[in-house]
Amino acid sequence: MKAILRTTLAGAILSLALGAHAAVDVSGIKFNDTVSVAGQTLQLNGAGKRVRIIVDVYAMGLYVPKVENDAAALMRGPGPKSVQIVLMRDLSGEDFAEAMIKGFNQNHSDADRARFQPRLDELSAAMRGFGKITKGTVVNMNQVPGAGLRVLVNGEQRAKDIPGDDFYAAILKIWLGDKPADSDLKNALLKNR
């Protein structure tokens, strides 16, 4: 009986120890193994940080229904998805929007940009409305089936949903496209930890 109790206790301690290390750490910012979007549990596909020249700008985690290391398959995959961005420095909403538009434009043809422009303008206006975004702020860009792209700042929805799975896939190209905002970040997001 004592041997069974010791084995059970050892297993419980091991489970707690493994659970304590479940989050992925990116320069002191922790990303959980899972998040919930639209009632579905999503898995952390990978996490990394965006560095501009030598400055850490933000840490980012990518959550998907099924872990995938192929960027194209990941972008076109159905269901909810989530990009979680944690700022590592203060930014203005204007700077955030301009960086997103630049990344978007680098990864899309003129025809694609024209097709997505009204929705991109909506997203840009929402981001410009953030005002000053301080270090530590968490921005979630969630794909909610049936609703579209939902932007949350520190857990609070800050704009109306922007429709279209195609638009969310187009936004993901900023980080996962052929000309990503940061190639090291792209590799980290596809690393599957």
**CA–CA gap between residue 119 and residue 167 (Å, rounded):** 8
* Burial letters 44-53, b for 16+ CB under 10 A, else e: bbbbbbbeee
Answer whether residue 25 shows pLDDT above 90.
yes
More confident: 184 or 9:
184
pLDDT tens string 86-144? 999 999 999 999 999 999 999 999 999 999 999 999 999 999 999 999 999 999 999 99
Q: Can you give the pLDDT at residue 193? A: 53
Q: Can you give the pLDDT at residue 16? A: 36
Cβ atoms of 168 and 148 within 8 Å: the answer is yes
- Tell me the three state secondary structure of residue 110: helix
**CA–CA gap between residue 61 and residue 48 (Å, rounded):** 7
Answer whether residue 59 shows pLDDT above 60.
yes
CATH ID of 23-189, from 3.30.210.10, 2.40.110.10, 3.50.70.10, 2.70.98.90: 3.50.70.10
Long-range Cβ contacts of 72-75 (<8 Å, 24+ apart): 74/45, 74/172, 74/176, 74/190, 75/169, 75/172, 75/173, 75/176
* Mean pLDDT for the chain overall: 87
Identify the helix (H) or strand (E) that includes residue 62.
strand 55-64
Cβ atoms of 89 and 56 within 8 Å: the answer is yes
Q: Can you give the pLDDT at residue 42? A: 97
Cβ atoms of 152 and 136 within 8 Å: the answer is no
- Tell me the three state secondary structure of residue 137: coil
Average pLDDT value for residue range 16-20: 38
pLDDT confidence bin for 192, thresholds 50/70/90 = low
pTM (predicted TM-score): 0.85
Q: Which of 124, 71, 69, 115 is nearest to 93 (CA)?
A: 124
- The 8-class DSSP code of residue 162 comes to B
Q: Can you give the pLDDT at residue 23? A: 83
Percent above pLDDT 90 for the chain:
79
Q: Where are the domains of the chain?
A: 23-189
Answer whether residue 50 shows pLDDT above 90.
yes
pLDDT confidence bin for 14, thresholds 50/70/90 = very low
Answer whether residue 5 shows pLDDT above 50.
no
